[in-house]
């Protein structure tokens, strides 16, 4: 039970009545017919039914713990979401009960066996965890080499005007990242933006 004034991290699925974490809820419907808050399992069943995908099976995957190159452990949760003719398999850490830190995604077809997809996703996760893009210096965090990979996220403190970066599974404010870049003053750079399901 949450303290008074704090937002709840659970919601009730309007189809099955199950209480699930808020990150496991999808608004499903349309403007004309209205929307229902469904758990991922009921959402997948509704999409599969609408598309006539009788063979689609919603699989629940248990969390796994993986270690990064610095010896820190990361617990990853998984979710499968059916998005029309695409099946998305996601892996994510939880920070204060919501997805944060490292997040990964891989796409497949609705009739794909999820276990080979999971194997490919875990291999991608291992590769990512084996690299550190930031290092520590006397002045704080710094870029370890000349390449940085991460995720662009929403920064509530900036009302969405500037991004929040997630690098090495930790949040990096835009100003902090700008300070790190100043050690390369005068250098050139190339910025490549890719979909979260693509390998980097």
Residue 122 has a CB neighbour count (10 Å cut-off) of 17
Residue span of the structural domain in which 166 resides: 134-184
- The stretch 9-30 carries a mean pLDDT of 93
Q: Is the pLDDT of residue 160 over 80?
A: no
115 contact partners, CB below 8 Å, separation of at least 6: none
> Do 29 and 106 reside in the same domain of the chain?
yes
Q: Is the pLDDT of residue 5 over 70?
A: no
> Do 165 and 70 reside in the same domain of the chain?
no
- The stretch 166-177 carries a mean pLDDT of 95
- Computed over every residue of the chain, the mean pLDDT equals 91
In a domain, 22, yes or no: yes
> Do 48 and 144 reside in the same domain of the chain?
no
Give the chain's domain count: 2
More confident residue, 78 or 5: 78
Q: Is the pLDDT of residue 6 over 50?
A: no
In sequence order, what are the beta bridge partners of 67? 73
In a domain, 1, yes or no: no
Domain end residue (candidates: 129, 144, 161): 129
> Do 63 and 148 reside in the same domain of the chain?
no
In a domain, 192, yes or no: no
> Do 33 and 77 reside in the same domain of the chain?
yes
> Do 14 and 105 reside in the same domain of the chain?
yes
Q: Is 38 exposed, middle or buried (0-12, 13-18, 19+ CB in 10 A)?
A: buried
> Do 125 and 27 reside in the same domain of the chain?
yes
End-to-end CA distance of the chain: 40
In a domain, 54, yes or no: yes
- Structure tokens that stand for 95 in this block: 């920070």
Q: What is the pLDDT of residue 57?
A: 82
Place of tokens 């998005």: 83
In a domain, 178, yes or no: yes
In a domain, 27, yes or no: yes
More confident residue, 155 or 76: 76
Under DSSP, the state recorded for 113 is: -
Of residues 143, 141, 150, the one with CA closest to residue 193 = 150
In a domain, 106, yes or no: yes
In sequence order, what are the beta bridge partners of 141? 136
Cα distance between residue 70 and residue 163, in whole Å: 26
As a whole-number percent, the residues of the chain with pLDDT over 90 amount to: 74
pTM: 0.87
- Structure tokens that stand for 53 in this block: 């995908």
- The stretch 70-78 carries a mean pLDDT of 96
> Do 110 and 46 reside in the same domain of the chain?
yes
Which run of H or of E encompasses 175? Answer: helix 174-181
Give 79-110 pLDDT, tens digit per residue: 999 998 899 999 999 998 899 999 999 999 99
> Do 40 and 81 reside in the same domain of the chain?
yes
Give 107-153 pLDDT, tens digit per residue: 999 988 999 999 999 999 999 999 999 998 888 899 999 999 999 99
3-state secondary structure of 31: coil
Cα distance between residue 46 and residue 58, in whole Å: 11
> Do 24 and 46 reside in the same domain of the chain?
yes
Sequence-separated contacts (24+) of 40-44 with Cβ below 8 Å:
40/79, 40/80, 40/81, 41/16, 42/13, 42/15, 42/16, 43/81, 43/82, 44/80, 44/81, 44/82
Q: What is the pLDDT of residue 8?
A: 66
> Do 143 and 87 reside in the same domain of the chain?
no
> Do 69 and 163 reside in the same domain of the chain?
no
- The stretch 13-21 carries a mean pLDDT of 95
Q: Is the pLDDT of residue 1 over 50?
A: no
In a domain, 78, yes or no: yes
């Amino acid at each position: 039970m949450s303290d008074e004034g704090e937002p709840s991290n659970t919601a009730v699925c309007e189809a099955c009545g199950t209480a699930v974490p808020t990150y496991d809820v999808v608004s499903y419907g349309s403007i004309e017919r209205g929307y229902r808050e469904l758990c991922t399992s009921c959402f997948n069943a509704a999409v599969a039914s609408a598309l006539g995908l009788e063979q689609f099976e919603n699989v629940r995957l248990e969390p796994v713990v993986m270690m990064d190159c610095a010896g820190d452990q990361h617990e990853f949760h998984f979710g499968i979401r059916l998005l029309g003719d695409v099946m998305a398999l996601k892996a994510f850490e939880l920070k204060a009960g919501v997805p944060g830190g490292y997040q990964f995604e891989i796409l497949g077809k609705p009739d794909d066996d999820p276990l080979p997809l999971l194997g490919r996703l875990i291999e991608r996760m291992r590769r990512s965890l084996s690299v550190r893009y930031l290092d520590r210096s006397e002045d704080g965090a710094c870029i370890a080499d000349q390449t940085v990979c991460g995720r662009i996220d929403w920064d509530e403190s900036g009302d969405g005007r500037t991004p929040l970066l997630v690098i090495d599974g930790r949040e990096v404010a835009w100003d902090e990242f700008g300070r790190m870049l100043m050690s390369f003053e005068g250098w050139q750079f190339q910025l490549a933006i890719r979909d979260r399901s693509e390998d980097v």
